[in-house]
Amino acid sequence: MKNTKSALLVGVGGQGAILTAKVLVNGLMNAGYDVKMSEVHGMSQRGGSVSTQVHWGKKVYSPVIGRGEADIIVAFEKMEAVRYADFLKPDGIAVINDYELPSMTIAAGLCEYPEGCLEAMQENFTCHVLNAEAIAESLGSAKCMNIVLFGSMVKALGMDGIDWESVISETVPPKFRELNLKAYRAGYAAVD
């Protein structure tokens, strides 16, 4: 694990975490890093909890990380931040979307959405919390929420050495280019 960094992108199936990971990976590849990315398909797509891992450095072996090994968690949904919190290093960073998606068990009234997700994360880790949905909607579409979060992640990790705007332009479909560039800038600006 020496000299490598790892990011864990977590959310709910359909939130666009995979596109975010793709932007990250493309930028890292262009910058000459060895990169591995891991995701799980199948059952988890049907509204279940999903996680995508990106691991980069001069030389990377394992595509996956275990508990206590992630440098950053980007949570597209706040309860998912809590679910994966033990993957974070004690000095790791969390970028959390202040967004609540009840699970089927909660919607069916079998249990309650846990209270204090954000506070629990903030007590333990360096956290950047933003309402990426509201930011995305103010830019024109909730669909670019994922790139808003990506902008925040870049700022939080201090990964300014890579020209992310051109990476985004090359990765997203042309008709969404402007929207996603705005989303990136807004997300970046949302982190102090």
Select 1 or 166, whichever has its Cβ closest to other proteins.
Answer: 1
Inter-helix orientation angle 145-157/177-189, to 10°: 40
Q: According to the binding rule CB under 8 A, does residue 94 interact with other proteins?
A: no
Q: Which stretch binds other proteins (CB under 8 A): 86-94, 155-163, 169-177, 180-188?
A: 86-94
Q: Closest distance between other proteins and the C-beta of residue 189, in Å? A: 25
**Site track 115-154 with other proteins (rule: CB under 8 A), x = hit:** xxx-xxx-xxx----------------x------------
**Site track 11-50 with other proteins (rule: CB under 8 A), x = hit:** -xx-----------xx--x----xxxxxxxxxxxxxxxx-
Select 5 or 13, whichever has its Cβ closest to other proteins.
Answer: 13
DSSP, collapsed to helix, strand or coil, labels residue 75 as strand
CA atoms in the 13 A half-sphere facing the CB of 170: 12
Q: Which stretch binds other proteins (CB under 8 A): 110-118, 153-161, 173-181, 183-191?
A: 110-118
> CA angle, corner 187, sides to 162 and 137, nearest 5?
135
**From the list 16, 71, 106, 169, which residue makes contact with other proteins (rule: CB under 8 A)?**
106
> CB pairs under 8 A, 24+ apart, for 24-28?
24/54, 24/150, 24/153, 25/54, 25/56, 26/167, 26/170, 26/171, 27/159, 27/162, 27/163, 27/164, 27/167, 28/54, 28/56, 28/162
Q: Closest distance between other proteins and the C-beta of residue 158, in Å? A: 22
Number of Cβ atoms within 10 Å of the Cβ of 165: 15
Specify the DSSP class assigned to residue 114: P
Could you tell me how many residues of this chain bind other proteins (CB under 8 A)? 65
Residues that bind other proteins (CB under 8 A): 1, 12-13, 25-26, 29, 34-49, 60-69, 79-80, 82-83, 85-90, 102-117, 119-121, 123-125, 142
